[in-house]
Structure 1
Amino acid sequence: MEGITGRPELGSVVVGVDGSEPARRAVFWAADEAARRGTLLHIVHGADTDTRSLYLSADSIEGIRSAGHELLRDIAAVVAERFPDLRVTTEFSRSAPVPSLQRTAGLRGTLVVGSRGLGGFAYLMLGSVGLRIVGAATTPVVVVRGEDDTVAGVVVAAVRDEHDAESVRYAACEAEIRGASLRLLHVWNVFASAGVATPMLDGAGTVVGERVRRLTDLTARIREEFPGLTVQAEAEKSLNTAGALVEASRHADLLVMGGRRSPGYIGPTLGRVTHGLVHHAHCPVQLIPRGHGSEA
Structure 2
Amino acid sequence: MVQRVLDAGLDTVEQAAALAESQAPGIRVTSVVSRDVAVPALLGEAGDHGRTVVGTRGAGGFSALLLGSVGLRVAACATAPVVVVRGTPSHVTTGVVLVAVRDERDLDVMRFAAETADRHKASLRVLSAYTHYQYAGSMVPVLGDLTDVAEERASSVTRLIGPVRDEFPGLTVTGDLVRAHSPAGALVDASAHADLVVVGARRPAHALGTPLGRVVHAVLHHAHCPVAVFPDGERHRFDD
CA distance in 2, matches of 1:209, 1:193: 21
CA distance in 1, matches of 2:134, 2:24: 46
In the alignment, which residue of structure 2 is the partner of 1:152? 94
CA distance in 2, matches of 1:270, 1:262: 7
In the alignment, which residue of structure 1 is the partner of 2:164? 222
CA distance in 1, matches of 2:146, 2:22: 57
TM-aligned CA distance change 1:191 to 1:90, over 3 Å: farther
CA distance in 2, matches of 1:66, 1:165: 45
In the alignment, which residue of structure 2 is the partner of 1:176? 118
* Alignment match of 1:205 (pick from 142, 147, 168): 147
In the alignment, which residue of structure 2 is the partner of 1:82? 23
Structure 1 unpaired stretches of 5+: 1-59
In the alignment, which residue of structure 2 is the partner of 1:136? 77
* Alignment match of 1:115 (pick from 53, 56, 69): 56
How far 1:207 sits from its partner (Å)?
A: 2.2
CA distance in 2, matches of 1:271, 1:262: 6
TM-aligned CA distance change 1:181 to 1:292, over 3 Å: farther
In the alignment, which residue of structure 2 is the partner of 1:252? 194
- Residues 262 and 290 of structure 1 are in contact (CA less than 8 Å); yes or no, is this contact kept in structure 2? no
Q: What is the DSSP-based 3-state SS (H/G/I as helix, E as strand, rest coil) of the residue aligned with 1:171?
A: helix
CA distance in 2, matches of 1:227, 1:192: 40
In the alignment, which residue of structure 1 is the partner of 2:3? 62
* TM alignment of 1:188-203, pairs within 5 A: 188-191=130-133, 198-203=140-145
Q: Which is worse superposed, 126-135 or 178-187?
A: 126-135
CA distance in 1, matches of 2:156, 2:5: 53
In the alignment, which residue of structure 1 is the partner of 2:68? 127
How far 1:202 sits from its partner (Å)?
A: 3.9
The one of the two structures with greater contact order (alpha-carbon pairs below 8 A, sep at least 6) is 2
Number of positions where the alignment pairs a residue of Structure 1 with one of Structure 2: 230
Identity of aligned residues (%): 45
In the alignment, which residue of structure 1 is the partner of 2:219? 277
Q: What is the DSSP-based 3-state SS (H/G/I as helix, E as strand, rest coil) of the residue aligned with 1:109?
A: coil
CA distance in 1, matches of 2:171, 2:52: 25
Does residue 95 of the first structure (1) align with residue 56 of the second (2)? no
Partner amino acid for 2:21? Answer: A
Q: What is the DSSP-based 3-state SS (H/G/I as helix, E as strand, rest coil) of the residue aligned with 1:163?
A: helix
How far 1:93 sits from its partner (Å)?
A: 0.4
TM-aligned CA distance change 1:291 to 1:269, over 3 Å: closer
TM-aligned CA distance change 1:192 to 1:185, over 3 Å: farther
CA distance in 2, matches of 1:286, 1:180: 15
Does residue 268 of the first structure (1) align with residue 229 of the second (2)? no
CA distance in 2, matches of 1:259, 1:127: 18
How far 1:198 sits from its partner (Å)?
A: 4.6
Q: What is the DSSP-based 3-state SS (H/G/I as helix, E as strand, rest coil) of the residue aligned with 1:93?
A: coil
TM-aligned CA distance change 1:193 to 1:175, over 3 Å: farther
CA distance in 2, matches of 1:133, 1:193: 37
TM-score, with length taken from structure 2: 0.88
TM-aligned CA distance change 1:108 to 1:191, over 3 Å: farther
TM-score, with length taken from structure 1: 0.72
CA distance in 1, matches of 2:234, 2:97: 20
How far 1:193 sits from its partner (Å)?
A: 11
CA distance in 2, matches of 1:206, 1:63: 63
1:179-224 Cα shifts (integer Å, max 9, x gaps) = 1000000001124996xx6544342222221111111121121111
CA distance in 2, matches of 1:141, 1:192: 35
In the alignment, which residue of structure 2 is the partner of 1:22? none
Alignment RMSD: 2.4
- Residues 259 and 287 of structure 1 are in contact (CA less than 8 Å); yes or no, is this contact kept in structure 2? yes
Structure 2 unpaired stretches of 5+: 236-240
How far 1:262 sits from its partner (Å)?
A: 6.5
